[in-house]
């Protein structure tokens, strides 16, 4: 499937100011930020921006309002809002800490055009583009792998960090990794949950760690809730982790390790 079939309606790129226009989107939302910690140095490695409703609605409720008619504008608005709110909460004061933003590849028509609002927002809020990480979830069906490769290539050229989220839980697995290699793989909690008690999961994750090292890819383990999971993953060579053991998502602050 090519890009034109993903975007049946006439496409028009929008800029930073227009992306902040929630009336045009049709609903409002905010962001919560969850810590990704560097276990070795006990410092923040990144914060992931997660959509939330203004009245406490979950991410699923917000995403349930996204459709073919507003997907592009929503994706653009998420980027701008994440940069704006992270700046307001002081993320730039944390040395070298990244801001991780989820994006919808099926909402990107042409990478070099659709990145305009992101670059404008980074300039507006004086946010270094090299501190932005863009995650695509493996769980989202990719209509056109070549399209995603072009997006990742353009993002790399712009200086962004690229990541595959929920790795090991979606449609493609290693086939997706064989097509293109991001800077970061985020291991899904289906692989990390209870790993300290599960030799099979330990073997699978050890294999992924080996592949990632060969490809010079960083690994983040998601969904960590117990000290046992943390310690088992550290033994497997993973130093970056995310989960309730370290911090829950928060809207009004950036939680520290």
Per-residue pLDDT of 79-117, as tens digits, reads: 999 999 999 999 999 999 999 999 877 677 677 777 888
Residue 64: how many CB atoms within 10 A of its CB? 10
Residue 9, pLDDT > 60, answer no
Question: What's the rounded Cα separation, in Å, for the pair 251 and 78?
Answer: 14
What average pLDDT score do residues 197-222 get?
96
Supply φ then ψ for residue 160, to 5 degrees: -80, 155
**Domain segments of the chain as ranges:** 16-241
What average pLDDT score do residues 167-194 get?
85
pTM tops 0.85, yes or no = yes
Contact 71, 108 (CB under 8 A): no
Per-residue pLDDT of 23-69, as tens digits, reads: 577 889 999 999 999 999 999 999 999 999 999 899 999 989 988 88
What is residue 161's predicted lDDT score, i.e. its pLDDT? Answer: 96
The torsion defined by the Cα of 192, 208, 256 and 243, in degrees rounded to 10, comes to -20
Residue 141, pLDDT > 70, answer no
Residue 13, pLDDT > 50, answer no
What is residue 105's predicted lDDT score, i.e. its pLDDT? Answer: 75
Contact 39, 240 (CB under 8 A): yes
Question: What's the rounded Cα separation, in Å, for the pair 106 and 81?
Answer: 20
| Positions marked active-site | 222
Contact 212, 219 (CB under 8 A): yes
Question: What's the rounded Cα separation, in Å, for the pair 207 and 195?
Answer: 14
What average pLDDT score do residues 186-208 get?
96
Q: Which residue has the higher pLDDT, 22 or 95?
A: 95
16-241 belongs to which homologous superfamily?
EAL domain (3.20.20.450)
Encoding tokens for residue 180?
A: 């293109």
């Amino acid at each position: 499937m090519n890009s034109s079939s993903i975007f049946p309606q006439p496409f028009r790129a929008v800029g930073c100011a227009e992306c902040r226009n929630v009336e045009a989107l049709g609903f409002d939302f905010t962001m919560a930020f969850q810590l990704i910690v560097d276990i070795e140095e006990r410092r923040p490695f990144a914060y992931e921006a997660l959509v939330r409703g203004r009245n406490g609605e979950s991410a699923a409720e917000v995403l349930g309002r996204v459709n073919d008619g507003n997907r592009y504008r929503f994706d653009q608005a998420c980027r701008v809002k994440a940069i704006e709110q992270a700046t307001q909460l002081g993320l730039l004061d944390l040395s070298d800490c990244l801001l991780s933003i989820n994006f919808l590849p099926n909402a990107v028509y042409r990478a070099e055009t659709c990145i305009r609002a992101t670059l404008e927002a980074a300039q507006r809020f004086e946010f270094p583009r090299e501190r932005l990480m863009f995650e695509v979830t493996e769980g989202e069906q990719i209509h056109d792998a070549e399209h995603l490769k072009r997006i990742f290539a353009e993002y790399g050229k712009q200086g962004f960090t690229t990541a595959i989220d929920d790795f090991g839980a979606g449609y493609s697995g290693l086939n997706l990794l064989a097509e293109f290699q991001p800077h970061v793989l985020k291991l899904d909690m289906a692989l990390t949950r209870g790993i300290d008690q599960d030799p099979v999961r330990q073997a699978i994750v050890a294999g992924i760690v080996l592949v990632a090292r060969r490809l010079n890819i960083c690994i983040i383990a998601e969904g960590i809730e117990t000290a046992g999971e943390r310690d088992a993953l550290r033994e497997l060579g993973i130093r970056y982790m995310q989960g309730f053991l370290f911090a829950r998502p928060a809207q009004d602050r950036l939680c520290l390790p």
